[in-house]
């Protein structure tokens, strides 16, 4: 495993993402499988687990907390969680007030059965509240030792500028993968300039780059991919064609599969610290072994770009994931 430093924390460059373990947006996962997956990270050199209260309405955090108790050594885990999303009758909205941050931190500490969070992140910016107030509250958590690093997720450079004027900012978590590269234009260079660690989520694009999907695949209404434009025809076939060609390229050039190529691509991008990899069963983490000890060369990056350009004729980003805007009272 490769490691990086995040505000004096030694963090594996691949982290376990737990959105699917929440069981609400990706189909049911048993507690037994979820806990086993969290514990299996150590077999592959991983110590970072990224979670959030909105994943299964707290269930993902509870599962991680059970895994920590079963393991028995809290210090072996680097736990990143988030705050600021509220699930209501009209869907998910960003709500980031100081009061809500205090409530969420307390609830997360209880579910995770810990007295500190290694990395605490604002999940999405709340456009109805001043960012300065949220930053001030995060700084209070940090100064009190309740959190050991401060992060944001899905923030623009302009929003990070406002935040950094009040509090230190140690990390940013944007979506980033072979098919979704918007951060190349602004967020990634900004984070490089200001030494902000980048934790890339959706590194395999909601399983699309896993290489196991077929054009006939049906997604249950409870599965987040059922409303993802990438998984709707005719785009779906375009993306699957790209995956097939990327898989052939990975096998012929590197002796790997498309899943390994996709994760290596993220890790080898300048400025990226960590690639988050969602797994629902321990066996899925075995892929991590094939991501280490090799790198993409310039010709490899160029060939990947050519494949995507030639096959994905109607690209679309992850904008559908954004929560609804909230109107301030």
DSSP summary character for residue 175: B
pLDDT at 234: 93
Token reading at 117 = 């969070």
**Cis omega (within 30 of 0) for bond into 234:** yes
Domain boundaries, the chain: 3-208+259-294
Question: Could you give the 3-state DSSP secondary structure of residue 145?
Answer: coil
pLDDT at 329: 42
Are the beta carbons of 224 and 198 closer than 8 angstroms?
no
Token reading at 208 = 């699309």
pLDDT at 227: 87
Q: What is the model's pTM?
A: 0.93
pLDDT at 188: 98
pLDDT at 326: 57
Are the beta carbons of 151 and 169 closer than 8 angstroms?
yes
Domain 3-208+259-294: which CATH class? Answer: alpha beta
- The candidate with the shortest Cα–Cα distance to 316, out of 235, 244, 225, is 235
Can you tell me the distance from the alpha carbon of 230 to that of 311, in angstroms, rounded to the nearest whole number?
A: 13
Q: Out of 55, 142, 190, 201, which one is annotated catalytic? A: 55
Q: Is 55 a catalytic residue?
A: yes
Give CA 157 to chain center in angstroms: 18
Token reading at 202 = 């959706």
Per-residue tens of pLDDT for the chain, all 329 residues = 999 999 989 999 999 999 988 866 666 788 999 999 999 999 999 999 999 999 988 999 999 999 999 999 999 999 999 999 988 777 889 999 999 999 999 999 999 999 999 999 999 999 889 999 999 999 999 999 999 999 999 999 999 999 999 999 999 999 999 999 999 999 999 999 999 999 999 999 999 999 999 988 888 887 888 889 999 999 999 999 999 999 999 999 999 999 999 999 999 999 999 999 999 899 999 999 999 999 999 999 999 999 999 999 999 999 888 887 654 44
Can you tell me the distance from the alpha carbon of 68 to that of 261, in angstroms, rounded to the nearest whole number?
A: 31
Can you tell me the distance from the alpha carbon of 114 to that of 275, in angstroms, rounded to the nearest whole number?
A: 24
Can you tell me the distance from the alpha carbon of 75 to that of 73, in angstroms, rounded to the nearest whole number?
A: 5
């Amino acid at each position: 495993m490769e490691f990086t430093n995040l505000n004096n924390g030694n963090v594996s460059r691949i982290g376990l993402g737990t959105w699917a373990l929440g069981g609400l947006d990706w189909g049911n996962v048993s507690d037994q499988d979820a806990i086993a997956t969290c514990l299996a990270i150590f077999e592959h050199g991983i110590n970072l687990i990224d979670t959030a209260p909105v994943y299964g309405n707290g269930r993902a955090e509870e599962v991680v907390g059970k895994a920590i108790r079963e393991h028995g050594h809290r210090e072996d885990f680097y736990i990143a969680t988030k705050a600021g999303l509220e699930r209501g009758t009209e869907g998910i909205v960003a709500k980031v007030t100081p009061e809500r941050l205090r409530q969420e931190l307390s609830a997360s500490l209880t579910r995770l059965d810990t007295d500190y969070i290694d990395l605490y992140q604002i999940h999405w910016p709340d456009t109805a509240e001043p960012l300065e107030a949220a930053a001030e509250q995060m700084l209070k958590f940090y100064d009190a030792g309740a959190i050991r690093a401060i992060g944001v997720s899905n923030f623009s450079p302009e929003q990070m500028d406002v935040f950094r004027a009040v509090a230190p900012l140690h990390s940013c978590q944007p979506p980033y993968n072979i098919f979704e590269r918007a951060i190349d234009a602004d967020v990634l260079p900004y984070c490089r300039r200001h030494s902000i660690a980048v934790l890339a989520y959706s590194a395999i694009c909601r399983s699309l780059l896993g290489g196991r999907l077929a054009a006939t695949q049906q997604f249950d209404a409870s599965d987040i991919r059922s409303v993802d434009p990438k998984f709707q025809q005719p785009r779906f076939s375009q993306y699957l064609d790209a995956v097939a060609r990327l898989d052939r390229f990975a096998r012929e050039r590197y002796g790997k599969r498309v899943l390994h190529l996709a994760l290596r691509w993220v890790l080898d991008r300048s400025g990226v610290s960590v690639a988050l990899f969602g797994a629902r069963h321990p066996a899925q983490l075995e892929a991590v072994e094939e991501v280490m000890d090799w790198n993409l060369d310039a010709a490899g990056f160029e060939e990947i770009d050519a494949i995507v350009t030639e096959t994905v004729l109607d690209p679309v980003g992850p904008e559908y994931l954004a929560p609804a805007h909230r109107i301030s009272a």
